[in-house]
Amino acid sequence: MTNEPAPGPADETPCRPGDSILESIARRTGRAPRVNLLDAGTAGETPILDPKAHAYQNELSATDQGKYRILGEIARGGMGVVLRGHDIELGRDIAIKVTDGELAKRPEVIERFVEEAQIGGQLQHPGIVPVYELGLMADQRPYFTMKLIKGRTLAAMLTRRKSVEEDRVRFLDIWESVCQTMAYAHSKGVIHRDLKPANIMVGAFGEVQVVDWGLSKVLRRGGVADEVEARDTAMSVIETVRSGSGSGSDSIVGSVLGTPAYMSPEQAQGEPDKLDERTDVFALGAILCEILTGAPPYVAGGGQNLVQMAAFGELDAARARIDACSAAPDLKRLCLASLMTARAARPRDAEELANAVHAHLAGLESRAHEAQLAAAEERVRAERSRRRLQLTLSAGAVLALVAGGFWFLGTQRRERIQELSVSLGSIGDDSLSLAREGDFARAVEVARGGLRLVEAAEATPELRTRAERLVAAAEEALHEEEQRLAEAERERTLFDFLLDVEIRQVSTGFVETDEELERQYEAAFAAYGFDVEAENIGERLAALRDTDLGVRLALGFDGWSRLLRRMGAARDFKQELLTGIGIDLDTEPLRTTIRWALVGGDKQQLLELARDLDVDTTSPETLALLASSLSEFRLFEEARSLFVRGANRHPTSFLLNFGAGSALYQLDRDSETDSFEGAVGYLRAALALRSDLVGLHVQMGDLYRSRGHVLLSVRHVDQAVRRAPDHRWNDWVIGWTHWQAGNLEEALVWYERAVANSGGDWELVATHALEVTLGRAPFEEFLAWCEVDRTKNMWKTIQPGRMLVFPGQSGLEPDPARALDLLERALPEGYGHGAYWSALLWAYLAVGNLERALEVIEQGREFEDDLADQQRLSLRLLRDATVARLQGEVRTQRSLLEQARWVRAQLMAGMEEEWRGTAFHANFEYLERIAQGE
């Protein structure tokens, strides 16, 4: 609709300050044209949440006040507010995003805000909200204007569904549009980092747009698009105020940005350097998961933190929901692939997802079209039959009357037989289609339904035979599938064991002896049906030689052989037999050479192989075998280097990631080299590939416990125990971890198990000490029990004193003087344990006896724990701060206190509330007061 005011007298006065363009035109021409189009189908879809926000009108610059009219606030985000406005000159409603007043004082916020505008301005795609203009408010705060989205969010649409099956194709169409939009963004080197249903708008006429690019990131080296290289090519990339600046302000290392329920593990772990297109792929998979199952991958419950669930990639529940949903198998596979915790295992970018879902939807459309054609053909056949029947009746009415209608009845029966034949053909097609989709049980059910239909209709023998053959074919396919699944399950069980048993041999959470492990190897292969001493072993080897299964079995026999070599000469014959089986199963030349070198004990040959190896062209299996063989000869540095290089070259290899993580963990424990972060990275990658392996969770628990991260340690240990409660657990290690994490009831259960299984001194004392801490026994009774045979059990001397020195160990009121009385009696024995010397030292520091404290520091120095443990390091710094205070060195005391607090903050980062219930927290606060002289 056009509205043109009558022309007025022209005014040659030049533009005045603050005039809008229309006002200037009107002054020159005497007319200000205004065109307003109908706004159909979008009423009420972008409500104003705060109409009083029009006060922003006064904050516009003088020029902009004549150009824009602020109508109110429609949204508020982390960096500012989104206003609904009206562009007076062009007559269109717009959205205006303005930075928050306080945040606008921070340069990094301004950079991120301007970058969002620049990215939106350069991403030219129908699925991305166009940015119109970047400007400044009167107080110099930046703002930008963009298209006002009128529609509903995908989140709102999903909540209105009555079931997950409702409008599934429509929602898949929307998801495909989002994938296509993100494919375009990825081609420009941009990732969104906060994809979720609430950030997808669907307009009244079906248009789909991805909104809120406030957390988006332009990829540098490590993503598909490298900005430096892209500028030298014809490919267009997005440039922002930070492109190539090297400012490092795009993210704070360790920060977590995004929405946890849809977040990839690498994003939840706060590792911005690892984010790339696959981070968005995970989020797209999370949205698809919600479309198919009604919920995103991570759902809060049981007090679990969504960020922690995302960081650990706890997707078992989501995978079970996806498997159980009624979606087509190809959609389920696509969703599961997108939600792989290992980045390298996901589709590389959104284009792959868009192509896959497009193929699915095209298949649906094709099948629907074919069904329509089949129905139309059936209707034509039925109509022809009806007409033939009418003509026959007209021509032979007299004959029919004379014959008593017998001919007519016969025709009816033939028509029924024909209809039944068509129906049986359709049933056969349905059964075959279900079998092709992998639903063999339903295929049999449909086929049997066809047979029942034929039997009920008293069909011809030919039709009955067809129906019986259809059932037989479906049942045979089902039987073959059941056999295949059973064989696959036997293989899965064996290979899961082979991976797990390798892990268990390097983890402290298990207590199996080598003899027990050997029996488990033998039982596992026997359960699979592989008897290494059977007479027909040669036939089995010939059938499996150089197949994928044969190579995997050979690697399993390699692990068994390593165990036997460690056990000594008594098993030389058997380990040579197993190595020989491996050589027969896997004739790849390099792996054969490695195995013969192991049989001959040729360390030099292994070193030469490792030196000359080309990691880029060598398979992961060969690299893992050679690295493990080097470790057997205690060539740990060479083995570690090969594992690490191999894992970097083959990021989806579980064996190489686990080997690299374990090797770096051993280095971190056994030397002064700080390799903790590297160990965590590779073991996380292994866990992302196989989160179901019990031993790997225990290994992660070992790793975190070695640095004092007991909360993360107990989290992994709990997952392992839940998955395999019948394992031979190292009860006291698990009990100690729970104790340090503040889970006293759980710790007591494990210590009681340890007492029942082994009855060791420490487990027995710890059990009684926990009963005191839990208020189930008085301390004096515990002390009296410890006095009995005290000299034969050092823990009976150490533990009561520790409980009086460290409140976190007992909940008792600290009594350092009495603790000294108990601990000093043990000095003649000179206990070689750091726990004793630590308790004695803090008792002297608490009573202010600096001279004796310094002597104890010297006496117990050889028993000090590794400084890599952040808990012990922070307490060591408090100790040194206390010594400095007693020596009158105030500046040193303050510096050490600050260092101790910093170390503690790093340890507790992101889990402060959980740490408050631990013994460490209580001890730190008490010892901090001593260090301050309070």
Nearest to 555 by CA among 623, 647, 613: 623
State how beta strands 200-203 and 80-87 pair. unpaired
Higher pLDDT, 8 or 144: 144
Q: Confidence band (pLDDT; 50, 70, 90) for 625?
A: very high
Task: For residue 342, count other CB atoms closer than 10 A to its CB.
Answer: 22
Please tell me the chain's helix, strand, coil percentages from 3-state DSSP, rounded to the nearest 5: 65, 5, 30
State how beta strands 200-203 and 190-191 pair. unpaired
Give the pLDDT of residue 312. Answer: 80
CA 466 to chain centre: 50
Q: What is the C-alpha separation between 3 and 318, in angstroms, rounded?
A: 57
Q: What is the C-alpha separation between 780 and 29, in angstroms, rounded?
A: 101
Mean pLDDT over residues 710-734, rounded? Answer: 87
> Of all helices (H) and strands (E), which one includes residue 576?
helix 572-585
Q: Confidence band (pLDDT; 50, 70, 90) for 238?
A: very low
One-letter-per-residue 3-state SS of 238-306:
CCCCCCCCCCCCCCCCCCCCCCHHHCCHHHHCCCHHHCCHHHHHHHHHHHHHHHHHCCCCCCCCCCCCH
Tokens for 898, please give them. 């600050």
Q: Confidence band (pLDDT; 50, 70, 90) for 256?
A: low
3-class SS at 347? coil
Q: What is the C-alpha separation between 193 and 217, in angstroms, rounded?
A: 7
Average pLDDT, the chain: 80
Tens digit of each residue's pLDDT (9 = 90 or more) over 79-99:
778 888 888 888 888 999 998
- Integer angstrom CA distances of residue 771 from 739, 776, 789, 790, 818: 12, 5, 20, 19, 21
> Of all helices (H) and strands (E), which one includes residue 230?
helix 227-231
Q: Which residues pair with 83 in a beta bridge?
A: 73, 96
pLDDT at 52 over 70: no
Helical H runs in 505-535? Answer: 514-528
Rounded to 5 degrees, φ, ψ at 152 are -120, 150
Q: Which residues pair with 835 in a beta bridge?
A: none
Q: What is the total residue count of the chain? A: 934
Q: Confidence band (pLDDT; 50, 70, 90) for 254?
A: very low
pLDDT at 450 over 50: yes
Nearest to 703 by CA among 507, 500, 918, 909: 507
Q: Which amino acid is at 218?
A: V
pLDDT at 479 over 60: yes
Q: What is the C-alpha separation between 350 and 182, in angstroms, rounded?
A: 6
pLDDT at 392 over 70: no
Q: Confidence band (pLDDT; 50, 70, 90) for 241?
A: very low
Give the pLDDT of residue 409. Answer: 43
Mean pLDDT over residues 778-782, rounded? Answer: 91
Q: What is the C-alpha separation between 627 and 642, in angstroms, rounded?
A: 6
Could you give the count of Cα atoms lying within 13 Å of 279 in the half-sphere of its Cβ? 33
Residue linked to tokens 């040659």: 12
Residues 833-872 as b/e (b if ≥16 CB within 10 A, e otherwise) read ebbbbbbbbbbbbbeebeebbeebbeebeeeeeeebbbbb
Contact 187, 236 (CB under 8 A): no
Q: What is the C-alpha separation between 141 and 132, in angstroms, rounded?
A: 17
Mean pLDDT over residues 623-646, rounded? Answer: 92
Longest dimension (CA), the chain: 133
Mean pLDDT over residues 409-419, rounded? Answer: 65
- Prediction pTM value: 0.63
- Integer angstrom CA distances of residue 669 from 120, 214, 295: 49, 42, 42
Contact 782, 800 (CB under 8 A): yes
Q: What is the C-alpha separation between 605 and 580, in angstroms, rounded?
A: 19
Contact 45, 101 (CB under 8 A): no
- Helix 572-585 with 537-544: angle, nearest 10 deg: 40
Q: What is the C-alpha separation between 587 and 200, in angstroms, rounded?
A: 54
For residue 72, what is the DSSP state? E
Residue linked to tokens 């002054």: 27
Mean pLDDT over residues 221-247, rounded? Answer: 33
Q: What is the C-alpha separation between 856 and 243, in angstroms, rounded?
A: 57
For residue 45, what is the DSSP state? S
Q: What is the C-alpha separation between 68 and 97, in angstroms, rounded?
A: 13
Give the pLDDT of residue 453. Answer: 80
Q: What is the C-alpha separation between 739 and 919, in angstroms, rounded?
A: 8
- Integer angstrom CA distances of residue 736 from 542, 551, 705, 721, 751: 50, 41, 10, 15, 8
Say how many Å lie between the first and final Cα of the chain, rounded: 80
Helical H runs in 601-653? Answer: 603-612, 620-632, 636-649
Q: What is the C-alpha separation between 654 and 555, in angstroms, rounded?
A: 13
DSSP output for 890-926: HHHHHHHHHHHHHHHHHHHTT-HHHHTTSHHHHHHHH
Tokens for 635, please give them. 């060539």
Say which residues have a Cβ less than 8 Å from residue 809's Cβ, sequence separation at least 6.
769, 773, 802, 803, 919, 923
Task: For residue 408, count other CB atoms closer than 10 A to its CB.
Answer: 16
Tens digit of each residue's pLDDT (9 = 90 or more) over 201-215:
998 777 899 988 878
Q: Confidence band (pLDDT; 50, 70, 90) for 37?
A: low
Say which residues have a Cβ less than 8 Å from residue 361's Cβ, sequence separation at least 6.
169, 172, 173, 176
Strands (E), 547-605: none
Give the pLDDT of residue 177. Answer: 93
Helical H runs in 325-439? Answer: 329-338, 350-395, 397-402, 406-436
Tens digit of each residue's pLDDT (9 = 90 or more) over 525-577:
888 888 877 777 777 788 888 888 888 888 888 888 888 888 875 556 787 88
Tens digit of each residue's pLDDT (9 = 90 or more) over 506-523:
888 888 888 888 898 988
Give the pLDDT of residue 408. Answer: 41
Tokens for 551, please give them. 């190579």
The long-range contacts involving 23-30, CB below 8 angstroms and separated by at least 24 positions, are 23/66
Radius of gyration for the alpha carbons in the chain, expressed in angstroms and rounded: 37
Q: What is the C-alpha separation between 270 and 344, in angstroms, rounded?
A: 18
Nearest to 520 by CA among 573, 491, 559: 559
Rounded to 5 degrees, φ, ψ at 310 are -65, -40
Q: What is the C-alpha separation between 338 and 290, in angstroms, rounded?
A: 13
Task: For residue 468, count other CB atoms closer than 10 A to its CB.
Answer: 15
Tokens for 811, please give them. 């909940």
pLDDT at 587 over 90: no
Q: Confidence band (pLDDT; 50, 70, 90) for 921?
A: confident
Mean pLDDT over residues 716-730, rounded? Answer: 86
Task: For residue 445, count other CB atoms closer than 10 A to its CB.
Answer: 14
Q: Confidence band (pLDDT; 50, 70, 90) for 100?
A: confident
Q: What is the C-alpha separation between 143 and 59, in angstroms, rounded?
A: 11
